[in-house]
Amino acid sequence: MTTTRPAGPAAGPREVVGAGEAACHHGEILQGVFLDERRRPCHALVTLPMHGPGAHAAFLRRSDDGPDAVTVTPPGRAKARAAALLAVRACAAHRGVEPCGGELRLSGDLPVGLGMGSSTSDVIATVRAVADSYRLRLAPQTIARLAVRAEGACDPLMLGPGPLLFAQRQGRVLEALGTALPPALVVGCTLGGGAPVDTLSLSARTDDDREPARYERLRRMLRTAVADADPALLGRVSTASARLGQRVLHHPEFETLTAIADRTGATGVQIAHSGNVAGLLFDPRAPGLHRRVRHCLRALDGDGMTPTVNFSTGTNSGTTTGATPPDRRGDHRPHHRPGPHLPERGPLPWTSTSPRPSADRT
């Protein structure tokens, strides 16, 4: 349940409105096959959280409608509708009443298909809105279970920004790695011209006998990076994970991206494992940071990898890669330069960061 209620349909005498929202992320720091508490191979991931806009949902529950009579605006959000149907039944059972349908309205400016958790954000916001209409606040673990049932796998957006090794197909945490990721400035960009990725078309990962051993090593490295607040080790982990992910993703820009990271002194790169969003990680304490980021932005632009956002891990203020921060008194949408295939759902969000270095600083 949330305190911010997006605009939604007015409720009649036999109608109740609920609202919910959910954040997004910027792809993964680490994703692969790990060993669970019983030493069984398990697919899991660690996302790179972002503060900023995600999905908003309003659910108008109508007691006269049957439990399957749920409409969704905008149309085509099948996963969100599935989540609404599941949440209606779960909440009604908790209240001891008959389930009923209603109208779900989704809004937000998170692009689809770039690997930023857009579908999970929709699903979580939907579940929270349905629960709010029943005047319930569901536990994050309950929301995770409903999300997995609705979309087959989900990101850990319902569990907060702390770094978690999360089994996305089971909706459970394998390990809480700490309270926050190491400090890093992330310079975001899009690959593939910003075109969305059909995650169902991605080939399955190669799960040979060596796979868990490789990823368990990266897990230990990430655990140390978090404990020591070490941005250099964080970059090594994310780059290694992204390189292993190339066996499935085959981004033609990958070597160029890593070369830019090397030339500009970034600690590493991170790439969404189910989309075209990527980022270069910088140590915010490194000397010449403004100059490094400026050169990085120019290099990305020159090689056709459109810069999108820059943000810092573990903070709450945000801006875009524009030369100056947005006016916080007015429009908070980014003045970005979208790729030719940026989805119509909306612009990339500006997120948590200190102001981007302007182009005339060294």
Please enumerate in sequence order all residues whose Cβ is within 8 A of that of 77, keeping only pairs 6 or more positions apart, or say none: 104, 106, 122
Write the CB contacts of 322 (distance below 8 Å, at least 6 apart in sequence). Answer: 334, 335, 336, 356
- Mean pLDDT computed over every residue of the chain: 82
Fold of 15-174: Ribosomal Protein S5; domain 2 (3.30.230)
Q: How many whole angstroms separate alpha carbon 67 and alpha carbon 318?
A: 41
- Banded pLDDT at 192 (limits 50, 70, 90): confident
pLDDT at 211: 83
Task: Write the CA distances from 220 to 95, 170, 217, 225, 244, integer angstroms.
Answer: 44, 22, 5, 9, 16
CATH code for the part of the protein at 180-352: 3.30.70.890
Tokens 């770039």, residue?
114
In angstroms, rounded to a whole number, what is the distance separating the alpha carbons of residues 311 and 108? 19
pLDDT in tens, 12-49: 557 899 999 999 899 999 999 999 999 999 999 999 98
Q: Is 180 exposed, middle or buried (0-12, 13-18, 19+ CB in 10 A)?
A: middle
Give, as one character, the DSSP assignment of residue 247.
H
Domain boundaries, the chain: 15-174, 180-352
172 beta partners: 167
Tens of pLDDT, residues 55-100? 999 999 999 999 999 999 999 899 999 999 999 999 999 999 999 9
Task: Note the pLDDT of residue 123.
Answer: 97
CA atoms within 13 A on the CB side of 50: 32
- Please give the average per-residue pLDDT across 155-170, as a whole number: 93
The whole-angstrom separation of Cα 88 and Cα 74 is: 19
Asked if the domains 15-174 and 180-352 are classified in one and the same CATH topology, the answer is no
What's the pLDDT tens digit per position in 114-152?
788 889 999 999 999 999 999 999 999 999 999 999 999
CA angle 51, 57, 62 (to 5 degrees): 160
